[in-house]
């Protein structure tokens, strides 16, 4: 089968694209508004990226067989719902810009990645309906990355639309990858190079880290007199809530969702399984299934954002293989 090409919209650093290239597709163009993420994409995929709002794309420099991408989804995610409704209203309409590019390109297929909530929203239903009106067969579902060889529980809404054939979502491959599989060979202490970099915690923070057992969380701090002396008052007073805050990963299970502030244990289950510290950038990249050879552009905070926002390449690869099968059969 000849090499199939794709255009990547809202590309980020290129997690979705990397998985598609690993499955035999070729990236030929991309659109990304974040300059660091766009630079990362250019560095790894070897072609220019349109750096700016997708609304400013007036024509396509190339044609492609398929279009992939993940329109911003903050307004649909549980985290986004904590923000004022109007703040994300315009962003929630960016899927229409995605479809505008589909109309310009008329690809054989398109793939949309988003939060699970998007599939249950009126906007998601409208995108699917408009795809069908354009002659595409459309399928959609929520996939858990941990069922596709990704050492991380990460649920994503996936839409596959094809002009020919009947699209299906990839079946779980039965491979269960763990935190140990992903990062067990890395030094316990950060090396300050090759993105295996850590923070310099305050003595108080270091004491807190040491009191969290494997698989534990912030509630473990409030169970001893020593821990209560170190815990913020709000943790002591709030006896219910997330069990992931200040949580420690477990070696022989997948990680939970790696988000953009994985270097802050107060944001989730981001303490190393054994060392008394948050996970490093390299460890987060591994848990997202980025190879060590993938190159990054930007500050530590910028790269963390790129990593946390990315689609795990291994999940993307399974989606891409299914798309390739459909197109090959048709």
Q: Which domains are delineated in the chain?
A: 4-175+311-329 (3.40.50.150), 179-306 (3.90.120.10)
Give the residues across from 138 on adjacent strands.
161
Lowest mean pLDDT among 39-53, 102-116, 174-188, 208-222: 208-222
229 pLDDT more than 60: no
330 pLDDT more than 90: no
Lowest mean pLDDT among 79-88, 131-140, 241-250: 79-88
123 pLDDT more than 90: yes
The per-residue pLDDT for range 58-78, each reduced to its tens digit, is 999 999 999 999 999 666 555
The per-residue pLDDT for range 200-219, each reduced to its tens digit, is 778 888 888 888 888 888 77
pLDDT at 245: 81
Question: What's the rounded Cα separation, in Å, for the pair 183 and 299?
Answer: 22
SS3 label, residue 6: strand
279 pLDDT more than 80: yes
Lowest mean pLDDT among 19-28, 164-173, 231-240: 231-240
pLDDT at 232: 63
Q: Is 73 a catalytic residue?
A: yes
Backbone φ and ψ for 160, nearest 5 degrees, come out as: -120, 130
DSSP string, 117-132: HHHTSHHHHHHHHHHH
87 pLDDT more than 60: no
51 pLDDT more than 70: yes
Mean pLDDT over each residue of the chain, to the nearest integer: 90
Question: Which residue in the list 7, 73, 105, 279 is annotated as catalytic?
Answer: 73
The per-residue pLDDT for range 133-151, each reduced to its tens digit, is 999 999 999 999 999 999 9
pLDDT at 77: 55
Q: Are strands 137-144 and 155-162 parallel, antiparallel or unpaired?
A: antiparallel
> Looking at per-residue confidence, does 317 or 166 come out higher?
317
Helix, strand and coil in the chain, % to nearest 5: 40, 15, 45
SS3 label, residue 243: coil
Q: Indicate yes or no: pTM above 0.85.
A: yes
End-to-end CA, the chain: 12
pLDDT at 200: 78
Mean pLDDT throughout 99-108? 98
pLDDT at 276: 93
Question: What's the rounded Cα separation, in Å, for the pair 260 and 10?
Answer: 16
Check if the beta carbon of residue 259 is closer than 8 Å to that of residue 268.
yes
Q: Please, is 251 exposed, middle or buried when counting C-beta atoms within 10 Å of its C-beta (0-12, 13-18, 19+)?
A: middle
By percentage, how much of the chain surpasses pLDDT 90? 72
| pLDDT-derived band at 85, boundaries 50, 70, 90 | low
DSSP string, 150-161: -SB--EEEEEEE
Give the residues across from 212 on adjacent strands.
none
DSSP string, 278-329: BPPHHHHHHHTT--TT----S-HHHHHHHHHHSPPHHHHHHHHHHHHHHHHH
- DSSP state, residue 209: H
- Sign of the Cα torsion 227, 228, 230, 232 reads positive
């Amino acid at each position: 089968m000849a090499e199939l090409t794709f255009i990547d919209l809202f590309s980020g650093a290129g997690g979705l694209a990397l998985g598609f290239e690993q499955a035999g597709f070729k990236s030929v163009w991309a659109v990304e508004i974040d300059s660091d993420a766009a630079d990362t994409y250019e560095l790894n995929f070897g072609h220019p990226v349109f750096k700016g709002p997708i609304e400013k794309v007036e024509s396509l420099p190339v044609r492609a067989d398929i279009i992939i991408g993940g329109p911003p989804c903050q307004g649909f995610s549980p985290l986004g719902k904590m923000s004022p409704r109007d703040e994300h209203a315009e962003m929630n309409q960016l899927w229409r810009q995605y479809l505008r590019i589909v109309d310009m390109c008329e690809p054989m297929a398109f793939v949309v990645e988003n939060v699970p909530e998007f599939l249950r929203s009126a906007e998601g239903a409208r995108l699917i309906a408009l795809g069908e009106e354009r002659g595409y067969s459309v399928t959609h579902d929520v996939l858990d990355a941990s069922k596709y060889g990704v050492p991380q529980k990460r649920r994503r809404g996936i839409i596959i639309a094809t002009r020919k054939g009947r699209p299906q979502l990839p079946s779980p491959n039965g491979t269960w990858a763990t935190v140990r599989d992903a990062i067990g060979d890395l030094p316990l202490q950060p090396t300050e190079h090759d993105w295996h970099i850590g923070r310099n915690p305050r003595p108080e923070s270091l004491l807190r880290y040491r009191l969290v057992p494997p698989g534990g969380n912030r509630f473990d701090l409030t169970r001893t007199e020593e821990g209560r002396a170190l815990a913020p008052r709000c943790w002591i007073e709030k006896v219910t809530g997330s069990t992931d805050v200040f949580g420690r990963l477990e070696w022989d299970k997948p990680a939970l969702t790696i988000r953009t502030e994985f270097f802050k244990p107060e944001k989730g289950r981001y303490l190393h399984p054994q060392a008394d510290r948050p996970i490093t950038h390299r460890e987060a990249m591994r848990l997202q299934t980025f190879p060590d050879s993938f190159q990054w552009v930007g500050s530590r905070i910028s790269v963390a954002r790129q990593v946390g926002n990315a689609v795990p390449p291994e999940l993307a690869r399974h989606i891409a293989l299914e798309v390739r099968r459909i197109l090959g059969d048709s």
